[in-house]
Amino acid sequence: MKVLSVNIGSLNFVLRNGKKVKSGIFKKPIEGSIELSSLGFEGDYQANKKLHGGIEKAICVYPSEHYEAWRNELRRPGLSYGDFGENLTTLGLLEHEVCLGDRFRIGSAEIVVTQPREPCITLNARIGLIDLSARFKKSGRSGFYFSVVKEGTLSSGDLIKSISKDENRVSVSEFNQVINGVPEIEDIINRASKVNDLPQKLKNKFLKIKNH
């Protein structure tokens, strides 16, 4: 497992639903090492901190393995790492294998998987396709978020080392089923409710679904 690209971005205007809004979705690869704090990478910005960033979404991760599929599906051969707004483009971390609560070390930093990514309509504006966020959600190629257990430094090319695996084994792909409203998800919700690193607001939301 490896980091192929570290991507950060400043705030820029994007045209969303006919209005200019500020967004940090325009990420570009950087060279060299970078500091990682509990709130994310040094020099990386988010405009809407209620939906993006923060302790539980400090790092947005996207598997490099998905890029070729999107290039073909969207007929965008020029798509490159960071274009989907991710901070880390990785090799060897796929949604059906990575589980909520799994912990890893990259460089001197330690991180933990907290939840899948649910892209908003800003991704549509970034790529210029009005239905891309919906297609992301349906595809299962969602990516996911890390929170920071131990601050440190890392860089592109660093190996991603597994520290521990959560015993409940709720994969990102499984939890995407809950997000997407797939029937017969009670077992997933039961296991997910025991994952310490899953944000409490998500536990509350999906326990309500289970009890209805």
Return the number of other C-beta atoms located less than 10 Å from residue 67's C-beta: 19
The whole-number pLDDT of residue 207 equals 72
pTM of this prediction exceeds 0.85: yes
pLDDT on residue 63: 98
Surface-to-core class of residue 171, CB atoms within 10 Å of its CB (0-12 exposed, 13-18 middle, 19+ buried): buried
pLDDT of residue 191: 93
| CA atoms in the 13 A half-sphere facing the CB of 41 | 27
User: Which residue ranges form the domains of the chain, and what is each CATH number?
Assistant: 2-167 (2.40.33.20)
Written as six digits, the tokens of 5 are: 């690209």
Taking the chain (212 residues) in consecutive chunks of 10 residues, what is each chunk's mean pLDDT?
96 78 88 96 81 87 97 96 96 97 98 93 88 91 96 98 97 92 84 93 77 60
Nearest 5°: phi and psi at 11?
A: -80, 130
Radius of gyration of the chain (CA): 16
